[in-house]
Amino acid sequence: MSNVNQWDLSADDWDELNFPRPIKQGFDRVVKAAISRRGVLGGVLAFGSGAAVMGTGLLKGSTAMAQQTSRFAFEQLAPQTDGTVHVPAGYNWHTLVRWGDPLFSDAPAFDAVTGVPTTGSDRVFGENTDGMELFNLGNTELLVVNSEYVNTRINLPDGQDGKAISADDIVRLQNFQGVSVMEVTETADGWKVVVDSPYNRRIHHRSPMTIDGPAAAGFKRYGVSTKVDPGRYNYHGFDARFDLSNNPNEPHRAGYIVEIDPWNPDSTPVKHTALGRFKHENAACALALDGRVVVYMGDDERGEYIYKWVSRDVYVPGGDTATLLSEGQLFVARFNDDGTGIWLALTPEDTGMTKAEIAIFTRMAGTAVSATTMDRPEWVAVNPTAVEAYCCLTNNVQRGATNDDESFRTNAAGEPMITNAPNPRNMNRYGQIVRWRPHGDEHAAPTFDWDLYVMAGNPTVHGKGPYAGTANINAGNLFNSPDGMHSDTTGLLWIQTDGNDGNDGDFVGMGNNQMLAGDPVTGEIRRFLTGPKGAEVTGLTWSADKRTMFVGIQHPDRPFPDGEHSLPRSSIIVVKCDDNALIG
Ligand code: CA
Ligand code: CA
């Protein structure tokens, strides 16, 4: 980051700024650790382009980089550094909806200079588009989108230096976050939001919710500040609910998986505490052989864990699913150096904590059973064509080599973030994607095999070695910081990035943040889309007919999408093949 300004940062950058850590490098140590695991990680454990593939791999059909015919129907896009979106030849894109666009006809008009006033700020599409899903019933398609956080310098009135100075400002910020439910339809002029659809809905900080599951308090590990300063949002300055001196339990009510019924706009969202409390990134669902629901989840924080939850009850197609996520067992992952792993049950017996404590202080429960510290687990994707799942480990520049090296840091539990098999690099600025295959082809199984599908890197800069990345990284498909991720119906793995887009130094040749397609079988990865300068690419879903792809563009710089004279606006774009062919 250059010219770092707290108010213009992404959520990740803000984290980095607020938790600065001294860093130093220890390449040799990493190389030795990686090579000592020769043969463990399957075919992709080969550093640098052209390096020989090492080992046979424990995972059948593991990435082998064999010279197979590519499954990709598009030509790889070159890296880009400008202020707009690019897709390959034969594809097209347009903007569907931007921050501040109306979901209802009584919403205030967006002003290119001042944005959206507080009154009516809960009637527009939210800020910082992130995860999304499309729900379809008959001919109706609903796009449901999370608004991850706010950019106070953009969202608040000009001249306030990005600071909330009134209760009115707080309401505005709260309204721009949460979830937007909106009907979308394809017209002769392309996809549109159906303004005033009875399904349209905004869920924000003040939307009533039900809390279910085991739950009831220490929030140091969760990064909650009690300092009396403006902070990023300064909610506690103007909203008693967020004043911890009066309301110390408020933080314990946030950080859960929330279930929303998009088909019933009057329904009350439910916070499912059974699925634990942490910095949930997404919830990727699979079914056990007997119909129980298996939910994989990452905790997007340095040195935190990957979780799995298995429902008590079974999913019955067409049946009532209202309480399916209310009762079940939470597990946390330990990745062994030998390429196997185990899901450790978070029970009172194993953790010494009550069920309620496990639900609220889930990270501490994970520590109690010695889960594996990971390099910031972001999105999990479940492959619908094979019994396997993937998790983006976006980066961790504080991952260090030794227990006693003070220059490297611990996670918030005080566990040293020393390198381990799935997180093998010191000062990991590029990120990797870990893959696991449950034993017995059963997502509910307690054990699994794992490998690294890819370690991002830069062979152009580093030649060989761990920072060059795995063999499926080459000068043509460079990227860093995998974050968003989805498997499509054909099993292709779509990878979205939220990283350094400076295109220089360690990141030269990577360009702007981007979306790539990965073939789980051959390991091939190819760049499909690039975002505008400053943006991360996050959130992906498909129309019911799989001929349209919806892609999120978060926190772009000017001029995206409306030109140099408008505030920049997070947006959802649609991408199609020119001939309207299937796209996922
Ligand atoms: Ca993310
Ligand atoms: Ca991220």
CA 379-483-41 angle, 5° bins: 75
**428: three-class secondary structure by DSSP:** strand
User: What is the rounded CA–CA span in Å between residue 310 and residue 328?
Assistant: 5
Amino acid 236: pLDDT = 74
* Nearest-ligand number for the alpha carbon of 378: 1
Q: Give the CA angle between residues 269, 273, 279 to the nearest 5°.
A: 90
CA of 515 to the centre of ligand 1 (A): 13
Dist. CA 191 → ligand 2 center (Å): 28
Distance 325 CA to ligand 2 centre (A): 26
Q: Strand, coil or helix: what is 226?
A: coil
- Our measurement of the distance from residue 51's CA atom to the centroid of its chain's CA atoms, rounded to an integer in Å, reads 31
Pairing of strands 306-314, 388-393: unpaired
> How many angstroms does the Cα of residue 5 sit away from the middle of ligand 2?
18
What pLDDT score does 9 carry?
60
**Residue 308 Cα, ligand 2 centroid: separation in angstroms?**
20
- For residue 214, the model assigns a pLDDT of 85
Q: Which pLDDT value is given to residue 234?
A: 72
CA angle 204, 207, 213 (to 5 degrees): 110
State how far the Cα of 410 lies from the Cα of 18, in Å rounded to an integer: 15
DSSP class of residue 545 equals: T
Residue type, 475: A
Q: How far is the CA of 79 from the centre of ligand 1 (A)?
A: 21
- Residues 6 or more apart whose CB falls under 8 angstroms from that of 330 comprise 274, 275, 276, 307, 308, 309, 345, 346, 358, 359, 362, 365
Ordered per-residue pLDDT tens for the chain, 584 residues? 333 344 456 667 666 665 543 333 333 333 333 333 333 333 333 333 333 233 223 343 344 444 457 889 899 999 999 999 999 999 999 999 999 999 999 999 999 999 999 999 999 999 999 999 999 999 999 999 999 999 999 999 888 889 999 999 999 999 999 999 999 999 999 999 999 999 999 999 989 888 888 874 844 456 555 554 445 677 777 777 777 666 767 778 789 999 999 999 999 999 999 999 999 999 999 999 999 999 999 999 999 999 999 999 999 999 999 999 999 999 999 999 999 999 999 999 999 999 999 999 999 999 999 999 999 999 999 999 999 999 999 999 888 755 555 556 778 777 778 889 999 998 899 999 999 999 999 999 999 999 999 999 999 999 999 999 999 999 999 999 999 999 999 999 999 999 999 999 999 999 999 999 999 999 999 999 999 999 999 999 999 999 999 999 999 999 999 999 999 999 999 999 999 999 97
Neighbours of ion ligand 1 (CB under 5 A): 378, 483
Dist. CA 456 → ligand 2 center (Å) = 15
- Do the beta carbons of residue 48 and residue 464 sit within 8 Å? yes
Q: Nearest ligand, CA of residue 379?
A: 1
Query: How many angstroms separate the alpha carbon of residue 423 from the centre of ligand 2?
Result: 17
Alpha carbon of 343 to ligand 1 centroid (Å): 24
Element (DSSP H or E) covering residue 181? strand 178-187
**Ligand 1 centre distance from Cα of residue 521 (Å):** 25
H or E stretch including 284? strand 280-287
The model carries a pTM of: 0.89
Measured CA to CA, the distance from residue 194 to residue 186 in angstroms comes to 10
The Cα 496–Cα 494 span in angstroms is: 7
Of all ligands present, the nearest one to the C-alpha of 375 is 2
Token representation of residue 456 = 């991002």
Distance from Cα 39 to the centre of ligand 1, integer Å? 31
Q: Which of 455, 475, 518, 524 is nearest to 37 (CA)?
A: 455
Nearest to 132 by CA among 165, 179, 175: 179
CA of 483 relative to ligand 1 center, distance in Å:
5
How remote is the CA of residue 499 from the centroid of ligand 2, in Å?
7
The DSSP call for residue 229 is: S
| CA 112 / ligand 1 centre spacing (Å) | 27
Q: How far apart are CA 567 and CA 563, in angstroms?
A: 8
Alpha carbon distances (Å) from 549 to 23, 84, 104:
40, 17, 24
Q: DSSP E strands: which ranges in 300-339?
A: 306-314, 328-335
Give residue 524 CA to ligand 2 midpoint distance, Å: 23
* pLDDT for the residue numbered 53: 30
Task: Calculate how far, in angstroms, residue 150's C-alpha sits from the geometric centre of ligand 1.
Answer: 14
Task: Give the C-alpha separation, 248 to 218, whole Å.
Answer: 9
Name the phi and psi angles at 289, rounded to 5: -60, -30
CA of 581 to the centre of ligand 2 (A): 31
